[in-house]
Structures are given as structure tokens and as C-alpha cells.
A and B are shown apart, each in its own frame.
Chain A
């Protein structure tokens, strides 16, 4: 009987470990597939030239620049609001109905499908505020989308700051604002930055919210102002794969674009993890 139970345990645990490794293998397969097919396309010309020949040749410079603009634009808007909001929720609010309400709203906003953000952005920013298809309309839409990410990571970061630190600061006569500015934030900031980097990585890959707010099908020039339309990497990949003028011949360009996108995500995640690790050491020192 006992033997039988041990055997069952062994079988179950083996299955679990195999499944876990299968999932990791799927991840590697996706990345490797795009890497193998895309690496030959990547060259200096590919990332520094305009697309040519109906998007079957040339490079993807305007899409890269467009995506960078959107990353920057959305963060400029969502990072300050998100961090301030996180500080307020964690440092100023006691467990109250208001706090529950705010976290409920944050979770609800986080659960809104990205295409609904696209609809909303089109209706409010593009049509009602008359921004037209522009970097600013796209950035604001993407900013709203990343706001919950930044709020929750800020909250988590602040929660992990030991309360004795705050009490110590108060005991020295510091005010609440001073405590937050001089004591709490310096300890929490690596984790807050981690959240920032992860939301940047998310912005770089979102397609649905920019479909109707900023993304241009084909626009081989760089933007002049924030009211310009731009191409963006994820939308460019979508266009190259499904609705380009010559899908077969633009396939290599698609692999290259996908690889650039994946590289952005990988690099940003790597940086985030390094910062997180560094924070772990800081905490130990304390």
C-alpha cells in the first residue's frame, strides 16, 4: 500500500516536471525559430534604412523609430501618474473601502482587452479631441494600458519596504512626505524601475491599441511632431504577414521584424531581472 503511494507520487511528480520543461521548451522553440529565420536578415541596413519595393526590401527604420516614440510617449504619461497613484494607495490609505475600490478599478482597467483600449483611444483622442491618427493619441492610449502595471508594481515595491524604516524616520522628526521622499522611495526604486521597464517592453509589442490611433501601413519617413502618424514594429509585422502587397517576398522582412521585437522584449526583461537581483542584495545588506 505504502509502496503504491510512493509510486503514484513519483509518477505525478515526473509528469509535473516534464510538463514544466515542455512549457520552457515551447518558449525556446518560439524564440529559436524566429532567431534562426531572422538572424540572416538583420544587418545595419535593415535597422537603418527605409522600407522599399512594396515592403519587400530595405529596412525597418521608421517602424523602430515609431515604436521608440510610442514607448517614450506612453511612459512620460503613465509613469508619473502610476507611481504617484501607487504611493498614495500604499502610503496614505489605510485598509478602507476607498482603498478596495481603487484596487478594484486598477484591476478592472488591467483586465480591459487591448482592442477596447483601441476603440476608446480612437473615440476620445483621435475623434473627439481631434488629435487624428498621431503619436500623441497612440501614446495616451498605450499609457492608459500600462497604468495598472505601473501602479501595481509600485505598490508591491513600497509594500516590500520594511515598516521599521518608516517608523525610524518619523522618530527622527521627519514628516510623511520627507519619509517617503528620502527613505521609502530610495529603497523601493529599483523595483519601481523594474515595473517601468516591463511596461516599456509591453508597450513595444502591443498592436491592437495602436491600430486605429497611430499606426501607419506604410510611411517611409521619420515623424516630425507628435501629431504625426508613424509606423510601429508590431503593426509592421502584422502588415508584412497578412496584408502586405507581396506576402511571400516580404516573409524574410517579417522574420527580421519579429526578431527585432523579440530582442527588445528579451533585453528589457533581462535588464529588469538584473535590477531585481541587485535589489535582493541590497535588502540582504540591510
Chain B
């Protein structure tokens, strides 16, 4: 081919178009990371208290700052004395707008609440145990109370706190530990169920069944992967959930167990197809050598085929786990969505994807709740990324000991 001919340029242009298309997936992955972090990371630059609101205490109170958790304890009346929070021995006295209207008459506050800020100021100085929660606009210009500094949300608390109350007032709680545990719990349950079933089926397809039967079974098992997750969720809700409820005599059937069963069925095709592929890569010569030594086919499978393909089987299990962790709709429909750390498979739990799906629609765009849900997305993305990278690593390291 002549250089600089028309055909040469055509080839080059085609090649660059192809190159550009192939970069698309990488760009998409990078964009996903950028946008998740852009929206989600903002959570850690914000305070858990509602915007435009202020928390103030008596000027003599020793405390300077409170965390979201402490604020919740105070407002849930679980802590009633300042000394529990490291302050002096004083009773905590909540002051909110409702309380103001109880203490003062309408006349004292004025027809259009024009004296409200004065009265707040008056009360805050008078009561040494007070904690006042008001919008910024109700505070007097020379407000005498001490404004409490509230810490920004911290990454550590986000991961280690259990309480997920994203819309709680006055301080929202963004602890995701129970959601993370819920996700792992359901997915592990799914794998516990899917692994023995999936591996048995994979061995059957790869080593035991005749090719004719295999050609019928394989497309059917692949069809399981094609059924939409919302149909699995629907099936789980109308069949598995009532079944579990009756079987264990529970108040509700929406449990971790229901989620694990549905997810287990959904993870089966992934586990079966990938471990079957792995089993089939075992060199025929190895198997024949084993058989020639007098081993039965079952002994050969157990001692030769499975050890040889163990890395592929591990990859299959991890990918199945990844599928289960990221699954949204089916889990949302059958697990009951209670944000508590699971202690039993027979109680409702809530997963990260289900939380995002259930709450994002109600969270105003750009708000703190919205950001927290994107931060949850980051956690989910990172978990699945780690799983994928591990699988890739297994694949690469597997290549070397080929016979």
C-alpha cells in the first residue's frame, strides 16, 4: 500500500475512530468515579444539622462543640444531664419553637412573633442547662447564648456508626455500618446457598453429563440470568416471603433469609457458567493420567480437576458475590429494609443498594441526604471494584502455571 494515498488515510481514520470507541469504557469508569466523588464527598464538608439552623447553649456551659450523635442523644432525651457529655452537672433543658409558645403567651411573643428573638435571648441567659434549637433568623442581633460548634460529618463515623437517620431533626445521622453489614450478610447468605448448588451443577455440566444433555441444560441455566431482577423480586415477594413467614411463624416474612434465597438463585448462573468454564480448562492429559492410575472419575474430579481449576472457581464465587452485593430491586422488595445490624437471618435487614433506590427519589438534589446517598454509592462502587480487581488478579496469576 502506498503511503499518503487515499486508502492509507482511510485506514488511519478508521483506526483512530476504533481507538476512540475503545477508550469509551475507560472514560465511563473514570467519569463514574469523578461524579460519585463529586456529589458524595461533599457530605464530609457539611454539618449534620439543617442549613440555616443554630444550636446554642448557656454562655457558662463548658462544652464548645457537639457531634451529631450527641445531638441525637439530647433530642431523643436519652441523655438528660450535661455531665454525661463532659460538661457540668446540670439538667439538660431543650428549647424549641414549640416550647417557646408553651412558656410564653401569645401576647408576650407578639402577634407576628416579633418579640420571639428577644424572648429566646432572655431565656437562654436565664437557664444554665438550656440547649436551644432555632433558625438563624430568630436569633437576636446581640444574641448572648453560646453557639455550639458542630463537627462536619467524618468519614470514620460514616463507616463505623450504626445509626442511619438521614432526615432526623435537628441532626441527621449518617452511620452506614448497619447497611454495610446488611449488604454483606445477605450476600454471604446467598453465596452459602448458591455455592454448593452452583458448583455441583458446574461439575455435572463439565464432567458428568453427556454433551446432548449439556446443550439443553446450559441455555436454560443461562436463561436464569436473563430474568429481570424485578421479576425475581416480585416472585420472592408473592411466593418466598409468605412461605418463610409461615414456615418459621414470623410476624413478617420480609427477612434476610428471603433476600439470600432470591439473591442465591440470581447468583447461580454466574457461578455455574464461570466455574464450568474453569473446570473445562483442565488439560485432558492430566485427567487421563489420573484415570490411568486407576482413580475413578469422581476421584479425578476431586483430586485433579477441582484443585487445578480452584482459582477459576474462586473467581466465580467472587463474581457471584459481587452480583449479589450490587443487586438492588429484588433485595429492596423482599428484605423488609430495616436499618439495623443483623443478628439473625429471620429478621428484616437493609442493604446499601436498596437504601439508595428507596431514598434518592425523596432526597432533594444537592442536599445533605442526597450527598450521603452518593457517598453510599462510593462505598458500593469501591466494594465491587475491589472484587473485580481481585478476580482480574486471580485470572492473571492463574496463567503462569499452565502445563
Contacts and interface: CB of A to CB of B under 8 A. Distances in A.
A171 B299 CA distance: 51
A234 B228 CA distance: 8
A122 B371 CA distance: 13
A212 B18 contact: no
Contacts of B233: 238, 241
A190 to B, nearest CB: 16
A69 to B, nearest CB: 17
B17 interface: yes
Interface of B: 1, 7, 10-11, 14-15, 17-19, 21-26, 28-29, 31-32, 35-36, 38-39, 196-197, 200-201, 203-205, 208-209, 217, 219-224, 226-235, 237-239, 265, 268, 272, 296-299, 319, 322, 325-329, 332-333, 353, 356-357, 360-361, 365, 373-374, 377, 380-381, 384-385, 387-389, 391-392
A237 B227 CA distance: 13
A241 B329 CA distance: 12
Interface in A1-60: 5-6, 8-9, 12-13, 15-17, 19-20, 22-24, 26-27, 30-31, 33-34
A33 B235 contact: yes
Interface string A79-121: 0111011011100100000000110111111011111111110
Given A15-B200, A105-B29, A208-B328, A9 B21 contact: no
5 contacts: A24-B221, A108-B388, A177-B14, A207-B228, A238-B233
A111 B228 contact: no
Query: Secondary structure at chain B's binding surface: helix, strand, loop or mixed?
Result: helix
Nearest to A111: B388
A175 interface: yes
Contact of B298 (A8, A82, A84, A116): A8
Interface in A190-229: 198, 201-202, 204-208, 211-212
Interface size class of A (residues with CB under 8 A): 35 or more
A175 B11 contact: yes
A175 B124 CA distance: 85
Contacts of B17: 84
A183 interface: no
